Structures are given as structure tokens and as C-alpha cells.
Structure 1
């Protein structure tokens, strides 16, 4: 998976080379379409390299679902000076990009073969029983996560969720924010044996997602998280902003932490929540339970009312709920 990530980064560099070549020719295709290497972008690039220069002809290759720009705006963006040296760079960058995509596809095929060869011992049980959490289970039920993952040219072409469920014993893609590729990266880094970490706290500490404990003479010198270079931690932190946009309990948590700690602190706090979920599901083989976000909102509302009443009492006032007419 690390090699695949390197290939993806190389693809990104080639896309930047294509954007630079277009920019130097005063062609703003990469500003007129949402994805330069999407369906519309690739068709127009191929036509340009084939010798087409008329903007009116190139606009005909626009997909009907393209919404970032109008036909007139796209035609205006496709007028440039078409210098040969930049067309040459554009051609080589596009060829390299497509070659890298083939290597990514070969890498994905190798990953599929490796997953198919994994043998899981039958009847394997966790060494210690799962900690009880009846309060959460009484108010929750298994639900499909409400999270949309955008498909790109470097995305996995085949759904490996069932294969990963067979290997892990639990469907990690049900966790908010995780998709098949994320789970593959996590498993390639930490494996399936979580006995190396005595609990979820130790696992989060290894990832560098816990506050520091630099204390001297009873005084906290620094509580910043340790600088740990860990691919799993980087991945989980990257998921933070996307999770924060969802209408889920974890999205609510991220937004509250963002208001209190700022964006970076919220990403780390959300990453720690995700790490705890991953550790628990992998170790105890329990299905993910998505708590209804309305329950959390009701709890937050009750807490705010209680805090307001306490402050009113300290000031000699009384808070009375407003009666709504039926």
C-alpha cells in the first residue's frame, strides 16, 4: 500500500505538470472543469494533442453533467497560443499519468491476490472480553453510515469490502469516514494482531493522538501531542474535516471540538475517536453501532439548560421554560 501511495503521489505531480503547461499557453481548462483528468478533461486534452485548436469544436466534448462552467466560459478558457514546447510537455505528462494509472491497476490486482491468500483461523477469540457499554447499546442500532466518498481515477475499481470483512471479522467500512482504501492502508500498517497494545489508550498513544504529559513538580510544562510520523495517524487526521461535515454523532463532536480547539485540535481529537473505534472493532470483533445523532443533540441541549440554570441561581435568578401554545 505504501508503493501504491507513492504511485498516487506521482500521478498528482503529473497532473500539476499538465496544469502548468496549460497555464503557460494561457489555456485555463483546469479552471473550467472540476477535474482535469476526469472524463471531460481527458477528452479535451486528447483532442488538443491530436491537433484540434478550435474552441467551438473542443466544447462539443464537454459532458452534459459538467456544471463548474457554462459552454461559453469553457470556450473562452480554451483559447491560447498553443506553443509547441508546452504541447510537448503536456503530451509527455499525460502519457506518464496514464502509465502510472496502469501501474496502480496492477498494484490493485496484486493486493486482491494477496487478500485472497489470507487464511483466518476458525474460532479465534479475543483474549480478554469486550468492555461493557450497555448505555450506548440501549439507545443505538446498527445503521449504514451517511458518508459519501468521491470516485477518482486512482480509486479502487473493485469493491473489496466483503473480502476485508472476512479477514477482519468485522466490517470496518461501517465506521464514519472509512472506505475500503482507508481500511487497506490501516491493515497494512498495524495488521490484525492488536495484542501489542494493552488497550485503546496505548494504541492512541502509539499513534501520537494523545496529549503530552510533560510534568515537573506538579506543573504541566507542555500538553501538546507528540510529533509521531505514522501513516495511520496521518490518514485519520486527514479524515477529520470530511467527518466534520456529516450529520452524525462524530460530525457533531468534530464541530464542537473545532469551536473549542481550532481546526488542528479538532482533527486530532476526531482521529483519536476513530482510532478507538478501529481498535475496539478489530480486537473484540463487534459490529459497529452508529449512535443516533439526535440522542447526542438532546444530551447537549439538556446540558446547556442545566448550565444556564446553575448560572442563573448563582446570580439570584430563576430560569423558567417558555410554554408553547398548542
Structure 2
């Protein structure tokens, strides 16, 4: 006789919670249906966001969950955090609605149901000072990228005039390149006079530089070159302003970094490495690992760790030896990711357990490697029915 299925109910983890469906113009907020008008909408204006916070406070709400939609969530997050709410910023992949049932009201109610039963996890967000430094660094990186594009457009304008300066000097943004470009924009057209601006460190002679500066000097290309040079100088000043702002922000931080100093949100180093995107995927079904990797994660802290790992090839310590050993048995990209994973665990222990890194040296690595080889030989000998005897 078939056994009747047991009626299992989800446990209520957050009884006093709210959920917000974030939008560009309007935000929909859902609370427990026992309250009057459990779903309300608020515009994205600041006064309405303050009304939202007041309404949630009047209902005794303690936990608020919302999707990380674009940048629209940032003002809500900051206002609610300042009011003392425990704000969960959740990934949109974890709150996907049933196909065919999609609306703002249903979305906020669905997020509320998930949050009530503790089925959502909040994303990691550092403290305010760290967030300030991160924003400034990303702004600077954006300006550097824009400046590189202006260099490409300057190079395009010179190529259209058949100015082959890039073929005789390695970097047109260097001292010689900038002097020549500024002289061209100022009206100088004589290749010999322009070649006199060559720095003594340039390997190509002045004669070769002069030959590269024979061009057609068409008006439209000169106009483009002049505008791009002005844009380059403007971005150079903006980058310097970003450097000053970053320096001022760093003076208020005990330890600078992309992640800050508080990693209490992560229960273990495994959770921290998973957030970085450095942990191996755990796509398993039917006891077998599924093909393909996990979701693509773009994390600046992970990128920095990977860069450090790629430079570990020439390191003379324990980490360098570990990285070189990985390179002998796996692809370069996999070895870099594995070494970055090792560095991430060290960072986690440093910030959470205050465990300083102690260099173990090449001798320790060789001893561990030999011990692993011995254990592997013992397992293989037992499997074949032999007994391994030390010489």
C-alpha cells in the first residue's frame, strides 16, 4: 500500500520582513498579508523613499530583501541601512518567477515569500568607506579606458594622413610622441623640425622620425587629431583628480582593498572563494559532475588575485613552488585559478582569524610533495596486492 505523502511546511525564518521589486521609476513593496494594504508602490524620488522607510518602520519590519537591479537599488539600500534595517541584496537568479506569471506586484510578493522562509541569501557589500574607495577606483579605470580610446583615434587620424610615427617610436603617448603631436596641432608641418623634438632615448634616429612624418596633412584629419588631443589632456586631468580623491579616501581606511576588512558575512573560506568565483563548480546530478562551468562571475578582487597568481611563477617561496607544480599537470588558466584560490584562503584567514602568512619555504614544499608521492605509491601497491618496503 502506497504511503501517504507527509505534509511538510516551510519554517518561517523572518516573520517581520518586506520585499521590494526595484525599478527605475517605481518600486513595489510587499509585506505580510496580515497588514492592511500589504503591497504598496513608491516612486524613485527621495521623499517617497523616506515615506517607504517610515511605512516599514511603522509595521515593525526588521528585514528587507530586494533585487540588485542596475544601480537603482543603491539609494534604497543606503536609506534603509541608515534607518537600521537588515537589508538583503539578493541575486536576480535566486528570485526567478514562474514562467508566464510576471508582474511587479507578483515579483515583490514572490520575493517576500522566499525571504519569509529564509530561502534567499544577501550579497556581500563592504563598509561605506571601502565602497567609496571602490567607486573612485572604478571611476578612474573608466577614465583610463576612455583615454586609451582617444589614443586609438589619434593613431587613426595620423594613419589617414599617412603619418607613420607609431612605426618608429613604441608609444605615441610618451614624451617624444606627445611633443610631436602638440607641435603638429600647433601648426608645425616641417618633418625635420618635428624630428628635432625626438628624445635622446629613442632608438630610431632623427632621420627615420623625419621620414615617418611626411604626410598629406588633410584638414579634416588634423581637426580630428586636435580634438582627440584636447580630449586626452582633459581626461589626464580627470585621472589626476581621481588620484587625489582616492588618496584622500585611503587616509580614512586602516586597510585598503576591494573587499574591506570585515568578512564576517562569509561563514568559511569556501563561501568566500565561491563569492570570488574561484571555487570549482558543484554542478552534480545523479552522482555525476555535469559538463560546463558555473555562472560567469566578474569580480575585481578575484582578478587581482589571479594577477598575483600569474606572477607567482617566478616566486622562490612555497606559493611559487606550488604554482609551478600546478603548471606541470594542468592548463595555465586552471593553474592560475587554483593558485588564486590558495591566495584567497590566505586572505580570508588573515582578515577573519588574524593569522599572519608564514613563509614555509621550498624545503617544506618538497617534503609535502614527497609525502604525497609516497602515499600514492602505497595506495597503488595495496590495490595491486603488493607491499611497499622502504629501501
TM-score (norm 1): 0.63
* Other-structure match for 2:122: none
Find the aligned partners of 1:4 and 1:226 in 2 and give their Cα distance: 28
Unaligned regions of 5+ residues in structure 2, if any? 1-136, 385-391
Deviation at residue 193 of structure 1 after TM alignment: 0.6
Matched with 1:196 is: 265
Contact 1:254 1:267 in 2 (8 A): yes
Aligned to 1:6: 142
Q: 1:220 aligns with which of 274, 289, 296?
A: 289
Pair 1:26–1:204, CA change in 2 (3 A):
same
Higher Cα radius of gyration:
2
Asked if the contact 2:283–2:294 (Cα under 8 Å) also holds between the matched residues in 1, the reply is no
SS in 2 for 1:222: coil
Instruction: Give yes or no for contact 1:18–1:94 (8 Å, CA) kept in 2.
Output: yes
Query: Which residue of the partner structure matches residue 53 of structure 1?
Result: 189
Task: Please give the alpha-carbon distance, in whole angstroms, between the structure 2 residues aligned to 1:272 and 1:192.
Answer: 18
Matches within 5 A, 1:87-236: 87-116=222-251, 118=252, 167-168=254-255, 184=257, 186=258, 190-222=259-291, 224-236=293-305
Q: CA deviation at 1:17?
A: 1.0
For the Cα contact (< 8 Å) 1:211–1:226, is it kept in 2?
Answer: no
- Among residues 300, 306, 316, which one is paired with 1:237 in the alignment? 306
Structure showing the higher strand proportion among its residues: 2
The partner residue of 1:30 within 151, 160, 166 is 166
Paired with 1:244 and 1:18, the residues of 2 have a C-alpha distance of 37
Uncovered stretches (5+) of structure 1, i.e. residues with no partner: 119-163, 169-182, 315-326
- Please state if 1:65 is matched with 2:211: no
Contact 2:162–2:215, Cα closer than 8 Å, also in 1: yes
Instruction: For residue 288 of structure 1, report the CA deviation from its aligned partner.
Output: 4.4
1:50-73 residue CA offsets vs partner (Å, 9 max, x unmatched): 222333332332222334x45444
| Equivalent position of 1:76 in the other structure | 211
Alignment size in residue pairs? 249
How much has 1:301 moved relative to structure 2? 8.7
Structure 1 residues 197-231: Cα deviation after superposition (integer angstroms, max 9, x where no partner): 12222111111111111112221113634311322
> What is the aligned counterpart of 1:268 among 333, 337, 342?
337
Q: Alpha carbons of 1:208 and 1:51: their partners in 2 closer, same or farther (altered >3 Å)?
A: same
**Aligned equivalents of 2:280, 2:228: Cα separation in 1:** 44
Higher mean alpha-carbon deviation, 209-218 vs 274-283, is at: 274-283
Q: Which has the higher contact order (CA 8 A, sep 6+)?
A: 1
Output the CA distance in 2 between the equivalents of 1:71 and 1:250. Answer: 48
Structure 1 residues 245, 110: closer, same or farther in 2, change over 3 A? Answer: same
After superposition, the CA RMSD in angstroms is: 3.7
Contact 1:214/1:220, CA 8 A, preserved across alignment: yes
Shift of 1:192: 1.6
Return the match for 1:18 from 151, 154, 173.
154
Aligned twin of 2:83? none
In structure 1, distance between residues paired with 2:372 and 2:162: 56
Q: Is the 8 A contact 2:322 2:365 kept in 1?
A: no
Q: Closer, same or farther in 2 for the Cα pair 1:229/1:32, shift >3 Å?
A: same
Offset from partner CA, 1:283-323 (integer Å, 9 cap, x none)? 3445544554x54785699689979x99xx99xxxxxxxxx
